[in-house]
Amino acid sequence: MNIKIAVLPGDGIGPEIIAQALEVTKAVCNKFGHTLEYKSGLVGACAIDATGNPYPEETHTLCMESDAVLFGAVGDLRFDNNPSAKVRPEQGLLAMRKKLGLYANLRPVTTFDSLIEKSPLRADIVKGADFMCIRELTGGLYFGRPQGRSEDGNTAYDTCVYTREEVERIVKLAYEYAMKRRKKVTVVDKANVLATSRLWREVANEIAPQYPEVETEFMFVDNAAMRLIQWPTSFDVMVTENMFGDILTDEGSVITGSMGLLPSASIGVHTSLFEPIHGSWPQAAGQNIANPLATILSAAMMFEYAFGLFDEGTLIREAVNASMAANVCTPDIQTESDTKYGTKEVGAWIVDYINNK
């Protein structure tokens, strides 16, 4: 198969982790006889520096002409520490999601037996946790209008907006995934307070009877945040709106022991995008300490979701599991060892594993 991807390293640790994911992708393509074609583009702070636009038209064209996008992260302290900045790196990510029609973000949360003790939660609580969070990506507070500040600067406002169509397509997707898993959907909202959440609950109640085999539960977001910590094994497929999903999946990273282990896939109308859920961690850029596993696992999801190549994705997961079992890990998850590994060394070990299978 010919595999054509756009590679968007972004900012901070983005180039370092993407470099390792790309090497793994090359190794897998070589192993299975695929032809890999890729081009790089700018997004985020580096794009602002080069063009003044966090998501240049050239990058969008590249994404549209590719079969998948492998993305790192955006964000820079120069902008984080400047609340008055008119153009921000994160605007590039939002624009990319909007223009590519990426309405659904799939974030699997799975524990690894070799790393159970790295979780801040008790092993008996997190062992066996395996759920999918499906986060709506193009609506809610992040995209609602009007948005801004008053003329005197003393009042700021955001608007949360959802349409029935936006809710229907994401909820239906959640039920479709539940049918392939353990047949349970948890709809997370704040229907006791928010009108948009009441629309979510209404739509979910309309769709649920179409999937009689699937158990449906509704949960307020504050309760869901608590249950994630108390009983993570109770979830199968969780579906929720944009901001709730953003927060809950970051919380879910503590279940695995590191945010550096969680991949994601953003799917929708045009080209799908694959990225780790963590940010750009600019303080660590260039230090060879960033965990590349979430990005490498995102490449596994790319093979599966964008190209239907499940054996390839399985081999990547096997290699990642083997690296952790061998304690070949970056500092955030490595247990005591005489040998220390950085971003490049972990990536090289996984590539070597794939080459020798």
Q: Is the pLDDT of residue 117 over 80?
A: no
Mean pLDDT of the region 270-279:
93
What is the spatial distance between Cα 307 and Cα 297, in angstroms, rounded to a whole number?
Answer: 15
What average pLDDT does range 348-357 have in this prediction? 96
Alpha helix locations (H) across 158-292?
164-180, 195-207, 221-230, 242-256
Q: Which of 142, 162, 305, 353 is catalytic?
A: 142
pLDDT of residue 106: 95
Judge if 1-101+269-357 and 120-256 fold alike in CATH terms: yes
CATH class of 1-101+269-357: alpha beta
What is the structure's pLDDT at 116? 80
Amino acid of residue 56? P
Active-site pick, 222, 311, 340, 357:
222
Contact 353, 322 (CB under 8 A): yes
> What would the pLDDT profile of 253-268 be if each residue is shown by its tens digit?
778 877 788 899 999 8
Per-residue model confidence (pLDDT) at position 144: 87
Q: What is the mean pLDDT of the chain?
A: 94
Is residue 250 flagged as an active site residue?
yes
Percent of the chain with pLDDT over 90: 79
Q: How far is CA 239 from CA 150, 186, 348, in A?
A: 34, 6, 36
Number of alpha helices (DSSP H) and beta strands (DSSP E) in the chain: 13, 12
Picking from 292, 177, 290, 279, the residue whose alpha carbon sits closest to that of residue 235 is 177
Q: Give the separation between CA 306 and CA 35, rounded to whole angstroms.
A: 15
Q: Minimal CA–CA distance to 243: which of 145, 144, 126, 337?
A: 144
Please say if the pLDDT value at position 239 is more than 80: yes
Catalytic residue among 118, 246, 305, 341: 246
Q: What is the average per-residue pLDDT within 329-343?
A: 89
Residue 182: count other Cβ atoms within 10 Å of its Cβ. Answer: 13
Does 80 qualify as catalytic in the annotation?
no
Q: How many CA atoms lie within 13 A of 88 on its CB side?
A: 14
Please pick, among 80, 130, 158, 250, the residue that the annotation labels catalytic. Answer: 250
DSSP letter at 18? H
**Span 221-246, average pLDDT:** 96
Say which DSSP state 75 is in. Answer: -
Domain ranges for the chain = 1-101+269-357, 120-256
Mean pLDDT of 320-324: 94
| Predicted local distance difference test score (pLDDT) of residue 260 | 82
CB-CB neighbours of 333 under 10 Å: 20
CATH topology of domain 120-256: Isopropylmalate Dehydrogenase (3.40.718)
Inform me whether the pLDDT recorded for 114 exceeds 80: no
User: Does pLDDT of 79 surpass 90?
Assistant: no
User: Is position 246 annotated as part of the catalytic site?
Assistant: yes
Does 334 score more than 90 pLDDT? no
Is residue 308 left, alpha or beta, with left meaning phi > 0 and alpha meaning psi from -120 to 50? left
Q: Comparing C-alpha atoms, which of 261, 245, 252, 126 is closest to residue 187?
A: 245
- pLDDT at residue 83 greater than cutoff 80: no
Asked about 190 being catalytic, the answer comes back as yes
Mean pLDDT of the 148-158 span: 90
Model pLDDT, residue 90: 92
Q: Which of 76, 103, 177, 190 is catalytic?
A: 190
